[in-house]
Amino acid sequence: MLVIPAIDIIDGKCVRLFQGNFAKVVEYGLNPVEQAKAFADMGLEHLHLIDLDGAKNGSPKNLNILEQVVKSTPLKVDFGGGLRTISAITDALNAGAWKVNVGSMLSKNTGALINHPLNDKIIAAVDCENFIVKTNGWQNQTTIKVDELLNRLVEIGIYHFVITDITRDGTLTAPAFALYEELRQRFSTITLWASGGVSSYSDVINLKKIKVDGVIVGKAYYENKINLKELLQCLQNE
């Protein structure tokens, strides 16, 4: 199972939100590029880089940071935040993203991506609360159920998903195991990454047991709850 550290950016700084609330921001005073280098030095291979300025405003605002990370590290960077048009997706890929996290566009304009050649570069970023999808930086409530959206996206050729339970995100209260277990059982062939609530090594091990393919670790690292080097060793010993 992959361990994917997260860097969320506001105003060029590493931050974390509490349950997606832009009014509840914790700044860590870290330079995103330097932090990415530190993750690479730990032996990590991936990075989840989210442009929260872009997510809030509707178009990417930190592609320059993506470019710097890609140029200065060997990390495979999946980038998200404000990617709501084919043009924005292409810009992020041209800036060096390994894959792109697309959320709001997928629930509003699925037709634009039916068997699109970019689909293998897209990670469907599905953010939900009580099994119902939210969009636009988690600010807009929809009436779409998570499994309904996944069905729709698999049908058009998208198979890689990051599922975030907003009620768990930034809370260090444990992941939404029941959500991931249900989705894994219903969608056995997709690539499924879990995001939100990870606070301990046991959380990660339990996600591995239900065959989640990757886990995104954010606040647990920044709050010194998880040592990522030790976590990688722990997974290797499983």
Cβ atoms 87, 109 nearer than 8 A: no
**Given 51, 53, 78, 127, the catalytic residue:** 127
Predicted confidence at residue 20, as pLDDT, reads 62
Domain around 164: 2-237
- CB neighbour list of residue 38: distance below 8 Å, 6 or more residues apart: none
**pLDDT, tens digit (0-9, with 9 covering 90-100), for 125-178:** 998 988 888 776 556 677 889 999 999 999 999 999 999 988 887 778 899 999
Phi, psi of 51 (to 5 degrees): -90, 90
Torsion of CA 122, 123, 126, 127, to 10 degrees: -110
N- to C-terminal Cα separation, the chain: 11
CA atoms within 13 A on the CB side of 205: 12
Residue 167's pLDDT is 83
- Whether 78 sits among the annotated catalytic residues: the reply is no
Residue with tokens 């880089």: 49
We report the CATH number of the domain holding residue 102 as 3.20.20.70
The C-alpha atoms of residue 223 and residue 118 are separated, in whole angstroms, by 36
127 labelled catalytic: yes
Instruction: Extract the residue ranges of the chain whose pLDDT is less than 70.
Output: 18-24, 109, 136-140
Q: Is 75 helix (H, G, I), strand (E, B) or coil?
A: coil
SS3 category, 73: coil
Confidence (pTM): 0.92
Number of domains present in the structure of the chain: 1
3-class secondary structure, 81: coil
